[in-house]
Each structure stands twice: as structure tokens, then as C-alpha cells.
Amino acid sequence: MSGLLRIAYKLLTNDRGKFVALLLGITFSVFLMLQMTSMFSGIMRKASSMVANTGAPVWVMDPAVTNVTAAIPMPDYVLDAVRSLPGVRFAVPLYMGMGLARLKSGLYQPVMVIGLDDTSLYGRPALIEGKIEDIYAENGFVVVKDEDYSKLESPKMGTEFEINDNRGVIVGIAKVPASGLFGLPTLYTTFERAEQYIPSMRYTIAYLLVQPKTPADVPAIQSAVRALSYEAITDQQFEAKISRWYMFHTGMGTNLLIMTAIAFIVGLSISGQTFYTFVLENLEKFGALKAIGAKGYELVEMILFQVSATALAGYGLGVGFCSALIALAKSRVPDYASVITYENLALAFGMVLVIAAISGYVAVQRVLRIEPFDIFRS
């Protein structure tokens, strides 16, 4: 570190009160921005958890479907038509429905029931207890052990319950990458049993899960399905569709935008004002440095060093506080929907750079205008 940068560091940390105020302004701004965007990312991950848990590369659905839980049943001929398309290795139906489970204690709990194709069981979760073949047993169900597992009174292997006045038996306990958004326990069974147990409309196929022969066959499959007046999209496209719906068709996107803008304005106003005050109070020192030969670009380097050091320190503290809060919340509330992603970190870092750039620009303009004569005359 050069001598001028050491002076800049001592000037920055000499007044601890103002240095702490600068750090707090940026830290609080980063904390708010990261907290809001992380909450949105967590909600989106839970909203599209079924897509990730199933693992199907292509989904066929009604074009009016907006999110994975708002499935519109399709007639059986769509399944036959999709299976006959060139480029399709296989296609299987998927059932999704809501049931009401009566537990051993006598309490009732709504559940999400997913019916897998009876032949292939494609889209089944990974089991941590039991055998997947036992799902064919009479009244067999597989329960997902996630954040909502305890709502079913943490059933063990062989636990009996009632669902829509039908007997059910837990024959397997599964794990999935992500739990659902609405806090409902999830049960897997066969497609035929789900049709029998859950009241349904005339059609019962919620989605078709398609495995193409090669990734290059996907565009042709999508075009052929479109000709049937239905929609075929990849799992990434389905997740993006769900995110767009929550962003633009609910109040979630507006609230996220408002809170992020507020966090940015708070950080900019606090850090900008505090740093400008810091420069004014140290104007004599900058003038003295200029009088003894410091060049203008060297003074600019000092200002940029001070702004950058403060911004990076505030960014690190903000990320640390946000991570600690999320970890604490998840330890207390297991289904707390918040997750920090690289995109969230990059967005917060970009906004911190903007705050630092604006604050630094204002300070640089003031420092460059000083004249040593005016400093010594006063």
C-alpha cells in the first residue's frame, strides 16, 4: 500500500463514529436488498419444487396452466398422441390432486397426492426407507420427509391413516430436493389409486412427462404438441414460467421491487451524505496534500480507495447478517422460504457498486475543486 493510501485509510478510520455510520448505511442497504431477493428466490424454489423433484425434461400441459399446482386435466387421447410422436422415447401421465387425511389422533390434514404412472413409476422420489415396489401393495402410499412431514404426525413405516374415507398405509419414506410452497405434506401413490381416492373431474391427467430420444428432438416435439392445441415445455422453461407468473401476476413482484428500491435509496442517502460530510471535514487535509505536490489523480485514488473499502466492508457485513438471520429463521421455522443465490449476491454487489460510485463521484468533484491557497488563507 502506497503512502497516500495509508493516509487515506487513517483519515477514513480516524473518526470512528462517521466510519461506523458509513458502514451501517451500506450494511443495512445490502441486508434489505439481499433479504428481499433471497426470500423471492426461496419462494420460487418452493413454487417450482414439483418440477425439480420429478426430474422430467419435458412437460406437456394445457396452455392455460400458470403454475404447477394449477393443473388443467387433459383427455387420454393427448397421451396416445404424444407417445406416437417421432423423437419421443416414452411419455407417462402424472396425477396431482388434493386430499384430506385423517390421522391416528383424529385430526385432519390436507395433503398433496401425486399419482405416478402404474407401469414405470416415472418421477418417483428417492426412498430413505422401504422399497418402491411396495407402492403397489393394497392402500400403499409413500410419504415425503420434508419440512411438512411433522404435520402428518411423523408417520413411520406401516402407519395407517384415512384419506377421503379410504384406508392408506405408509409403505415408504422419501426425500426430495425441495419442499412445496403451501405447506402441504406430500404423498405418492399409483395413478390408478389416486384416481380412485381423490374426487376428480372428467379428465384426470394433470401433466404428461416426456422423455425425448435426444435433446435435439425437443423442438420438433414442442411443435407437434402445439398442433394438438397443447403446450410442451422443458423443465427450465416451466420453472421460468412459474417465476414470471408469481412476479407479474401477484403482488410479490411489486413488493420485491418496492423494497429493493427503498433499500437502495436508504443506502445511497446515508452513505452519500455521510461520506460527503466526511470529505468536507477533511477538506483541509486534502488541500494540504495538494499543496505539497499531490496530483489530482492521486487524490481521486484516495477517495476511490476510501469508498471501495467502505463499500466492500459494508457488503460483507450485510451478507453475513442476512445469512445469519436466514440460518436462525430456518432453525426455528423449518419451512421458512428464503435462500441466497449467486444471482442475489451479484445483484446486491452491483447496487453497492452504484452506491459507492455515486458517493465517490460527489466527493471527488468537491476535492478536485479545492485550492491550497484557500485552505491556508482560512
Same domain, 95 and 219: yes
Q: Counting Cβ atoms within 10 Å, is residue 188 exposed (0-12), middle (13-18) or buried (19+)? A: buried
Same domain, 267 and 177: no
Give the CA radius of gyration of the chain.
29
Residue closest to 210 by CA, chosen among 49, 52, 55: 55
Question: Distance between CA atoms of 253 and 92, rounded to whole angstroms?
Answer: 34
Question: Distance between CA atoms of 203 and 358, rounded to whole angstroms?
Answer: 59
Question: Distance between CA atoms of 232 and 243, rounded to whole angstroms?
Answer: 17
Residue closest to 162 by CA, chosen among 172, 152, 174, 154: 152
In a domain, 289, yes or no: yes
Confirm if 291 and 71 have CB atoms less than 8 A apart: no
- Contacts (Cβ under 8 Å, ≥6 apart) of 356: 26, 271, 307, 308, 310, 311
**What average pLDDT does this structure show over 267-293?**
72
In a domain, 90, yes or no: yes
Same domain, 10 and 98: no
Same domain, 264 and 318: yes
What are the helix (H) ranges across 62-153?
76-83
Coil vs helix vs strand at 221: helix
Question: Distance between CA atoms of 340 and 154, rounded to whole angstroms?
Answer: 29
In a domain, 55, yes or no: no
Please give the pLDDT value at position 377: 57
Same domain, 349 and 220: no
Same domain, 297 and 223: no
Q: Look over the chain and give the mean of its residue pLDDT values, rounded to a whole number.
A: 84
Distance between first and last Cα of the chain: 32
Using CA atoms, how far residue 269 sits from 65, 179, 266, in Å, is: 43, 39, 5
**What average pLDDT does this structure show over 260-269?**
75
3-state helix, strand, coil in the chain (%, to 5): 55, 20, 25
What's the total number of domains in the chain? 2
Q: Which helix or strand (DSSP H or E) is residue 53 part of?
A: helix 49-54
Same domain, 191 and 265: no
Q: In this prediction, what percent of the chain has a pLDDT beyond 90?
A: 35
Same domain, 222 and 260: no
**What average pLDDT does this structure show over 176-190?**
84
Q: Which residue has the higher pLDDT, 7 or 345?
A: 345
Q: What tens digit of pLDDT does each residue of 203-215 get?
A: 889 999 999 999 9
Does 277 have pLDDT greater than 70?
Answer: yes
Same domain, 104 and 157: yes
Domain final residue pick, 229, 262, 295 = 229
Residue closest to 180 by CA, chosen among 368, 47, 290, 270: 47
Confidence tier at 376 by pLDDT (50, 70, 90)? low
Same domain, 79 and 224: yes
Other residues' Cβ atoms within 10 Å of the Cβ of residue 234: 18
Same domain, 80 and 220: yes
Q: Which helix or strand (DSSP H or E) is residue 170 part of?
A: strand 166-175
Using CA atoms, how far residue 217 sits from 56, 78, 86, 220, 229, in Å, is: 15, 18, 8, 6, 19
Q: What tens digit of pLDDT does each residue of 209-246 get?
A: 999 999 999 999 999 999 999 999 999 999 888 888 88
Where in the sequence is the domain holding 98, given as residue range(s)? 75-229
In a domain, 65, yes or no: no
Other residues' Cβ atoms within 10 Å of the Cβ of residue 132: 18
In a domain, 216, yes or no: yes
Dihedral angle at the C-alpha atoms of 296, 299, 305, 311, nearest 10 degrees?
Answer: -90
The pair phi, psi for residue 133, each rounded to 5°, is -65, -25
Determine how β-strand 140-144 pairs with β-strand 108-116. unpaired
Cell of 78: 393427448
Please give the pLDDT value at position 202: 84
Length of the chain: 378
In a domain, 199, yes or no: yes
**What average pLDDT does this structure show over 301-329?**
87
Q: Which residue has the higher pLDDT, 291 or 53?
A: 53
In a domain, 273, yes or no: yes
Same domain, 11 and 88: no
